[in-house]
Structure formats: structure tokens, C-alpha cells
Structure 1
Amino acid sequence: MKPKTTIILHSDPQNNQLAEQFKSTVRSIVSQINRDFDVIFLGITDTKTRDSLEKNSIEITEIKIKDKDFAVLMNEALKQSEADNILYIDNRTNPVILKKAALEAFQISAVRNSKSGLFYSDYELEDGGNIKEIKLLFHHTGRVRDNQDYGKVNFIRREALDKISLFDESVKHNSLYDMRLKISEHYKITRISNKFNGSFYKVVASKKKANVFDYLLAGKDVQLEAEEVVTNHLKRINAYLEPGKFMTSEIKYDDVSTLAASVIIPVGFRPEFIGTAIESIRAQTVQDIEAIIVVNGGDNDPTIPEVKKYMKGGELYDPGKPEVYLIVVDINSIGFCLNLGVNQARGKYYVQLDSDDRLKPDAVEKIIDCFRSSGDIGMVIGSYEVWEKGDDGFLSRMKDIPVVTHDEWTEDNGRNNLLRINGAGAPRSIPIHIIKEMGYFGINDDAYARNYGEDYEMVNKIAEYYKIGRIYDPVYEVIRHSGGTDHAINQEVIDRNDEAKDDMRKEIILRRIAFNTI
């Protein structure tokens, strides 16, 4: 009689897992209250492990690795399985320990959700002896990032795998990503959530912590393949934008600007940084510009007197330098601040500058040159270096992080691939009239948005109609510090930010499907 489920796991875990940790994974399989399963190991396991399973009347199969890619191994395992369901345990880099009732719970959920092809659940994370409950995000159409966490254990209907012709063996690095996107095109994907003590399994943490620049260390071949995976997915769901489709060939408008550019800085309670940002504007090789500082902390914000030092009557005022203007509001909304600056701007182009960052002296010059290089550019995005402010107040370049060029952007496919990644680069510059044409920046009126993603939404909108110009020389300096929004951010903040951008991705995908059906 064929088993209802085949459990597939790796017998050669990496990351210096101890033999005892692997045994704990096996013991958790043996202890399942639902006994209707067999086990397939990807790799050859030891005699004691085989004996412990066979002693409990669990049938096992071993797949020899022989330098085979993941997709090839999985397909060999699936061809050995006769079960209706697959429970895949990704124990390659972390020990995974199932709760005793995990398999039974997955199977009941599968009965309840007959239109779902893949199931995933919240899990416990053991880190240094402490247990933390990891709450994953619910799946929807916008979850197309390749780094989206679907946990270490997936319960998959065999019919769903057959529907997508098992794993694509041409995909070498992103097999699970490719599989998930393909299944989502035909079936629902179900998250099983946990309120308290309801996780299905435990993962033993590695020592690595979240870092917003981790993606820079991914190999080029991995990134290119992930781009191909998401591009093919967009094509299959009719959300792909063909090169040049819907694009404006030449931008025509009534230019009422009186300056070359307006650098707009939203800021709140950062008196220690704003002077450095303003000085970088005053040092530009192009002086036909202005600085618009929008303070969002109200009348008592200590940033205000620092800004006033650079205005008429201030001790640092210089009539030969770009004018500094101040707007004060009592609503902390980055998009709102940007829109106020846009409405006051006298420049032809908006130039981004965060209050704790700096522009290179030739930034505005290179941005304007890029716009002038082609009449169909609706946005210019530069490249940046990452700097760090030490406890002594000095700034130093973080040389272990390369210049962030976002060179994964291509003219033909950048606007499709942008749905996979979390940003397009910095600084960003947009003609003022196009910002207004696009309906301004979001002011936290998008689902889940909390001063995050308003620029990401804008890039995606503009890229649907206009060419994006790129500058691959560093023209911007991101400064990391203990109070920065990207400094050692925790999982709660990461999840909140991902919710915001993924909801934007969903709306973008639905909009592009509508474009393609016209």
C-alpha cells in the first residue's frame, strides 16, 4: 500500500551541523503521530539512522548525490515516491526539528484547502538557547521576491508538482523559488499561522543576523537566474512588459522651472546630520540649484535651528551658494514632505537626498547630463557608496561593501526585474512635472506603508511609461549609524517593510495584467 506522504530531507547538511543535530531531525520524523509516510534521503545516511527508521517500520530510500544539482536530486526523489503529498524539509543549512503532530496537521489542512498546492507554516527559531516564534507572511500575488521566507518545511501536493512538470533542471540556484511561483499560477498557497505555541517545527539559528546589504554578496549567476525565473513567471501570468511597450518616445511639456534642480530633504529630529547633507548640496559643481528642507517634527524640532544657520541671517549663510528653504510641518510622513517640496520647487528636476546622507560634488552635474543624453528619460538613478559614522563622529567608507550600482537593471527588462528586488538604487532624480503626472508620492495611504516604499512605487510607475537613465559611478554616500533606518534592523521591521512593498507589487502586477489585456 502506497504511503500518503513522502518526507524528503538532506542527509548531508552543511554549515557544520553536528551529527547529533541531524539525528534530532531524524528523531522528530520517527516521533510523528501520523505514521502514513515513507522517507527519502538526498544523500547516503549512516547505518544507525537507517536502523532507527527501519526499526519503526519506516521505509527509506537514499538518492546518491554525485555532484547533482538540487533540481535533479529532487526529481530523482519524486520519481521514487508514490505518495499523494510531499513533505520537504530543507535542513541544508540549519537543523530542523518537527513537532510530533506536524505531519498530521499539514494533512488536515490539505483536506480543508483542496485548492491549495503548497502549504507552509510559522516556526520556532532557537537562537542561543532562546526560543522565538517566527510569524511568516501570508502569500498573495505580490510575493514575487526571491528572498521571501516560506520556512524550512513545505507540504506540497504531488498533483501540483506534476502540473508544473516537477522541478526545472535548467534552474541551478533558485529551484524552490521557481517551483513556488509556478505552483502559485495554478493553485493557492496556504500559510498556517501560529498565535502561541502553534508552530509546526523548530529551526536552530545560524549566527548570521539580518543585514539590508546581504543581497550585494549574491553571485551574479544567481541573480541573473533569479531574474529569468521571475521574468518567465510574469510572462505566464500576462504581467510582463515587453521592451519598449507603453514607453514614451519623447517627453514634451511646458517647462516653467527657473533652476536646474531642487534637492528635497524630508527630515525629523536629526540636527546632527542635516548640516552635512546641506554642505554636500552647497559643494555641487552645478550651483543653479536649491535645497528644500522639509522638517516634519513640528515647531520644536531641533533640526530647525540647524537649517536656519544656512538661510539668510544665519551664521553659515552664503549668498554665493544654492539657496536653502525651510518648510515645517507636524506630520511625520516622508511622502507628504516630498510632495510639499515638489509643489514649492523651482528646479526642473527633483533630486533625492536623505537627511543623514551626502551627495558627491558632481552628483547633480552627472544627473543632468544623463537626462540630456536622451529625450525619453523620465527618471535617473545613480550609484552609491556605503559609509559609516563611528562612535567618535568620524565618517569612513565601508570598503567591504562594494559600490551599489544595481547593475542588474537592464533597459529591456529592468522594470520587470524590479518586482523581484527591493530597490532600484540612489540617488533618484525625476522631472518635477512627471512626479505630478504620476500622482505624487504616496503619503502612507498605501496598504501597510509606514514611511517606506513611496519611492519604490514611484519608480515602478515611471518605468511603465519612461526610460530609466542610470549612472554607474558613485554619486551618493549612504551613511550608516546607530539611529539609521537600515542599521541592524530586526525581523519585525523587515516584515513590516516587506508587507508594504509586496502589496505595491500586487497592485503593480494587477495593473500590468490590465495593460496587457487592452
Structure 2
Amino acid sequence: MKKKITAFIPFSGSKQTIALISSLQESELVNKIFLMIPKKGLPKIQGCKNLLVDNLRSSKAMKLISKNSQSEYIFYISKDSNIELGKYCLDRFYQVAENTETGILYSNYRETTLSGLTENLLIDHQFGSLRDDFNFGPILFLKTEAVRKAVVQNKKNYKFAGLYDLRLRISQRYRIIRIPEFLYSVEEKDKRRIDERQFDYVNPRNRNVQLEMEKAVTDHLVKIGAYLKPKFKKLDISEGAFNCEASVIIPVKNRMKTIQQSIESALRQKTNFEFNVIVIDNHSDDGTTNIIEYIADRDNRVIHLKPMRRDLGIGGCWNEAVQHPQCGRFSVQLDSDDLYSEETALQKIVDTFKKEKCAMVIGSYRLTNLNMEELPPGIVDHKEWTPLNGRNNALRVNGLGAPRAFFTPILKKIKFPNVNYGEDYAIGLAISRKFKIGRIFKPIYICRRWEGNSDADISPQKLNTYNSYKDKIRTIELLARQKYNRPKK
């Protein structure tokens, strides 16, 4: 069998890496092994060549890989991990690559923990898989021809976004395929819970990284015809007649522990306009209904809405509220776990609508537990959003922020998808395609994490479901933006 693979392995002196190198050297498929080292002075391994690399994901690293690959395929480990290849791992990667002529292959893998091996089932890559933290696992099997074409295209010298840019460019010409088999095992070094990792992109310490990622995805959107120029459809937010200026929308099911605090937080708002609170009680059976009725009986601003249908998710509940005849000009989010952090939050949101003439306003929030004790990362303000490019970069990040507020006539036309996760992201992307979105970068909202809500300690299986759905939403939105950009006949 001809030697078809050049391997590129991070090496910092680990004994486990030496064991991996030995297994690669035993394969008839491997032509040459390059060790990507962070500094000079590391020992040389017989049969391998050292490459000095400052960052495994930089453009410089991608260029070195392209230049030094002497085979049809590249076996690349994207981070310094303790990896053990499964039996015939390389053979399987090579077989699928030959049969499919794909640009990038990746596979499921097993994770070594103190309790043994756990299976890490990944999700399929889609047209809309634009997140820079998409989990391919640490091993990528790449077609050398695809890598070289992508490297030639890239005129920028990214310190952090080189690998991200590479895979986006490869996806423009080639398929990216997941092999649904567990081809290797890895010892995960990031021991944080999944829900603790999801805010890495809003961490100010990662700001330079995020700016590079934004440039890379923007270039990609331009290339595929999905980039939106900073031109927005004009909107008359004074149109229409409404019973009140704003409605606070609270979908709820079985939140006996938190619903009273949420409603009271809304009722405490001080405004120079009339508002109401529409609580959509989605067939609660834990005592939540009684609490809502008690408050509604004592304050006529509270509308207790009980939908007839039993197949409504959070998005479906929002649609019910928005279509209610007493829904105000602006519909403002308040989740049944959460609170407004100040009594002027609602006023600030409506003021932003009027000042910026936008279809949607998104605020900032502070993350806490149920006892109001701050949790990492603390304030989530999505400062990665810019007026000129925010709606393009929104396709890369995993959320838009909170609280979210909408010009009600727009919601009546577009409507939320009837799901329990990602409905807010979907509607935000759809609105931003044509209309301006306003931002409030100071926290006006408290998002409370506790064992009962959907984002607390997410299981890998649920995270896969969530991420796959959001990637599908991005796919739909990309296609819509491509269509929107085409010359009108």
C-alpha cells in the first residue's frame, strides 16, 4: 500500500504523544510525521521532523502544513491532547476519504475519564455550521489538495483564526463529512461543565480571538453570497393602534418556584407609558397557575393567557401572546426564571426603539444563581455586536443576548418557530436580515441559572440536539440571505 498520509502532531514532550507517534509509524499509510512544537529545545524523535509553530490554529501553522504535506492526505491533530488511535483508525479515514473525495473528515471519539471511557457522539456538519467552536474533535483528516487551495486563497495572517478560516474555505468547494464511528479516544483537558464553556466567546479576554473569527466568517459570507451590507429597511414604529405601548411576555410551564418573582419584577417597572404583562401559562400542573391567578386578580395589568393547544413550545407561546388583542406595540421578553435588574429596564428598551427606529432591541444581562449570586462570566453584553456587521457575525455566535424585545407587527408577520430552544435566535436572525437591531450594552436583566432550567448542566446529548438545530437555523438563514442578495427579476 502506498504511503498516502502526512501527519502533523502537536508535541510538547508528553510520553502519551510519543506512544501516538509509535502507532503512526507502524501504519503503512503514513509517509511522514511532523511534530508541531511550541519552542526550540524539545527532543527530536527518530523518524519525525520538528516544525516550530506559535499557535496550532494560526494561518502560519496552516501554511506550514500545506507546504510540508507530501501526501494526498493530511492527518492533523488540532490541539495538544492525549490521544490513542483505535484499531484501523487511519485505514478507515483513508477509505472514506478515497470513496467520497471529501475535503475534511472527522469522527466520533471516546473520552477517557476517571470512571472509564465515555462515548462522545458528534453532530454532522451542515452548510450553516459557522460556529468557530463547532466540535470536530481533535483529529481532522484533510485532503491536501483542498488545504492548498484554501491556503492560497487566504491573504490574511491570522494568529487565532487560521484553522477556522481554512475549514470555511474548504467548505466552499468540498464536503465536510462526519464518520459516525468511534475511531479514537482522547483525554479531555477542559474539565469545565458544558454550560460553563458556552460563554467563552463573550469573555473580554478572548476579544482579539473573536475579532479574527468575525473577519474570517465575514469573508466567507462574501464568498458564498450571503453577506449583508449595512443597509436596512426603513420602519415606521408609530404605525398601528395598540391598547398599550408595551407588553412584557412571560411564557411559563411549571415554574412555581420563580414565577411570582418574575411577574412582580415586571409590575415594578416605572415608565411614562402604559404597559401590561401577558403570562402564557402552558398547562402548568404544579401550582404555577394558582400563583398567576392570584396576582392577576389583584392587578389588572396582568393578563393570564391559557392556550387551548397542548402542542406549544416556547415559540408557540410567544405567537399566542403576540396575536392577543391586548398585546402592546412592543413585545418584551421576561423568562419565568428571570428578573429585570432595575425598575427602568422597560423604559430604556422602549426609548431605544424610538431613538433607533429598529425592529428589535436586545439588552445585556447578569448571570446568577437562584440566590442572585453571580456566576461566570458575570455580565453578558455581546459587545461583539457592531451596527455595521452585527447581523453577519450573528451567524457565527451561538446567541444574541437578553432581554429581547420586538416591534409587535414584525412578530405577527414572521412568527417564532414552535420549539423550546433556539426560537429566539431564529427570529433574531430572520429580523436582522432586513431590519436594524438596537442594542443596550449595560445590564438591565438578570438571567438565573438553577437546576430546573434548560441551560443548567446540559448533557452532551441535549447539547448536540441544541447545536444541530441552531446549525439548521443558520442553514435556512444562509439560503434566505443568498436569495435576498440575488438581483430581483
TM-score, scaled relative to structure 1: 0.87
Contact kept in structure 2, 1:378 and 1:462, CA below 8 Å: yes
Q: Deviations over 1:143-179 (max 9, x none)?
A: 1110101111111111111211357661111221111
Structure 2: segments with no counterpart, 5+ residues: none
Matched, 1:242 2:229: yes
Aligned to 1:96: 83
State the match for 1:127 in structure 2: 113
Question: How far does residue 465 in structure 1 lie from its aligned partner after superposition?
Answer: 1.6
Per the alignment, residue 24 of structure 2 pairs with: 29
How far did residue 358 of structure 1 move?
Answer: 0.5
**Do the aligned partners of 1:63 and 1:77 also contact (CA within 8 Å) in 2?**
no
The residue aligned with 1:510 is: 479
Equivalent of residue 356 in structure 1, options 331, 334, 337: 337
Provide, for residues 349-368 of structure 1, a one-character-per-residue CA deviation record: whole Å limited to 9, x for no partner.
Answer: 10001000001311110011
CA drift at 1:36: 4.0
Tell me: CA distance 1:335–1:76, structure 2 relative to 1, closer, same or farther (3 Å): closer
Candidates 193, 202, 205, aligned match of 2:185: 202
> Among residues 27, 34, 37, which one is paired with 1:40 in the alignment?
34
Residue aligned with 1:272, SS: coil
Assess, with a 3 A threshold, how the Cα gap between structure 1 residues 66 and 297 changes in structure 2: closer, same or farther.
closer
Per the alignment, residue 319 of structure 2 pairs with 339
- Alpha carbons of 1:98 and 1:108: their partners in 2 closer, same or farther (altered >3 Å)? same
Which residue, out of 398, 418, 435, partners 1:422? 398
**Alignment-derived partner of residue 56 in structure 1:** none
* Residues 335-386 of structure 1, C-alpha deviations (whole Å, 9 max, x = no match): 11111111113311100010000013111100111111133x1111111111
| Residue of structure 2 equivalent to 1:448 | none
Give the secondary-structure state (helix, strand or coil) at the position aligned to 1:61: strand
Q: Which amino acid aligns with 2:122?
A: L
Q: In the alignment, which of 145, 150, 174 is matched to residue 159 of structure 1? A: 145
Mapped to 1, the partners of 2:56 and 2:78 lie a distance apart of 16
Q: What is the deviation of 1:37?
A: 2.1
Deviation at 1:66, TM superposition (A): 7.0
CA pair 491-172 structure 1, distance change in 2 beyond 3 A: same
Segments of 4+ in structure 1 off by > 4 A? 44-47, 65-69, 166-169
What is the aligned partner in structure 1 of residue 428 from structure 2?
Answer: 459
Query: 3-state DSSP class of the match of 2:356?
Result: coil
Q: Give the distance between the partners of 1:20 and 1:478, measured in 2 at CA.
A: 44
Counterpart-to-counterpart distance in 2, 1:278 and 1:262: 12
Contact 2:69 2:144 in 1 (8 A): no
Matched, 1:224 2:211: yes
Letter in 2 for 1:303: T
Deviations along 1:78-121, one digit per CA (max 9) or x if unpaired, are 323321111112342x211212311111111111112x111111
- Return the letter of the residue paired with 2:316: F
State the 1:288 CA deviation: 1.5
Query: Does residue 378 in structure 1 map to residue 397 in structure 2?
Result: no
Q: Distance in 1 between matches of 2:292 and 2:56?
A: 61
Residue 306 (1) aligns with residue 300 (2): no
What is the rounded CA distance, in whole Å, between the counterparts of 2:9 and 2:374 in structure 1? 43
What's the counterpart of residue 16 of structure 1? Answer: none
Q: Helix, strand or coil for the counterpart of 2:148?
A: helix
Offset of 1:310 from its aligned partner?
0.7
Task: Say which is worse superposed, 99-108 or 355-364, in terms of deviation.
Answer: 99-108
TM-aligned CA deviation for residue 434 of structure 1: 0.9
1:55 matched residue in structure 2:
none
Match of 2:269 in 1: 284
Q: Answer yes or no: is the 8 Å Cα contact 1:2–1:83 preserved in 2.
A: no
Q: CA–CA distance in 1 between the matches of 2:12 and 2:166?
A: 22
Closer, same or farther in 2 for the Cα pair 1:154/1:290, shift >3 Å?
A: same
Q: 1:368 aligns with which of 350, 374, 378?
A: 350
Distance 2:289 2:12 in 1: 59
Instruction: Give the Å deviation of 1:281.
Output: 0.8
Tell me how far apart the structure 1 counterparts of residues 41 and 91 of structure 2 sit (CA, whole Å).
25
Supply the distance in 1 between the matched residues of 2:317 and 2:307 (Cα, whole angstroms).
9
Matched, 1:395 2:372: yes
The residue type paired with residue 35 of structure 2 is F
> What CA distance in whole angstroms lies between the structure 2 residues aligned with 1:82 and 1:455?
47
In structure 2, how many angstroms separate the alpha carbons of the residues matched to 1:224 and 1:46?
33
8 Å Cα contact 1:284/1:361 also seen in 2: yes
Question: Counterpart in 2 of 1:87?
Answer: 75
Q: How far, CA to CA, are the matches of 1:152 and 1:69 in structure 2?
A: 12
**Which letter does structure 1 place at the counterpart of 2:184?**
Y
Which of 251, 275, 279 aligns to 1:293? It is 279
Deviation at residue 2 of structure 1 after TM alignment? 8.3
In structure 1, the residue corresponding to 2:331 is in which secondary structure? strand
2:132 maps to 146
Q: Distance in 2 between matches of 1:77 and 1:371?
A: 50
Compare 260-269 and 163-172 and name the one that shifted more: 163-172
Aligned-pair distance for 1:30? 3.2
Distance, in Å, in 2 between the alignment partners of 1:226 and 1:358 is 32
**Deviation digits for residues 206-249 of structure 1 (CA, Å, limit 9, x no counterpart):** 223212333333511101110111000000001101111xx222
Superposition deviation, residue 296 in structure 1: 1.0
- Cα deviation code 1:410-434 (max 9, x no counterpart): 1111110000011111111111111
Task: Choose the corresponding residue for 1:441, options 381, 393, 416.
Answer: 416
CA shift in 2, pair 1:5/1:35, >3 Å: closer
- Which amino acid in the other structure matches residue 380 of structure 2? V
Of the three residues 232, 236, 256, the one matched with 1:251 is 236
TM-score (norm 2): 0.92
- Where do 5+ consecutive residues of structure 1 fail to align? 14-18, 52-58, 445-450
Q: Distance in 2 between matches of 1:40 and 1:346?
A: 63
Q: CA RMSD in A?
A: 2.2
Distance in 2 between the 1:67 and 1:496 partners? 31
Q: Offset at 1:74? A: 4.0
Q: Is the 1:292–1:326 contact (alpha carbons within 8 Å) kept by the matching residues of 2?
A: yes
Deviation for aligned residue 1:253: 6.5
Residue 193 of structure 1 aligns to a residue in which SS? strand
What amino acid is aligned across from residue 333 of structure 1 in structure 2? G
Distance 1:102 1:236, change over 3 A: same
Write the distance in 2 (CA, Å) between the matches of 1:504 and 1:465: 17
Give 1:512 deviation, angstroms: 0.8
Identify if the C-alpha distance between structure 1 residues 364 and 139 changes in structure 2 by more than 3 Å, giving closer, same or farther: same
Deviation string 1:464-508 (CA, Å, 9 cap, x unpaired) is 121111111111110111111111112111111111111010011
Out of 374, 382, 387, the position equivalent to 1:406 is 382
Give the secondary-structure state (helix, strand or coil) at the position aligned to 1:122.
strand
Report if aligned partners of 2:4, 2:71 keep a CA contact under 8 Å in 1: yes
Q: Deviations 1:125-151 (Å, cap 9, x if unpaired)?
A: 111142111111111211111010111
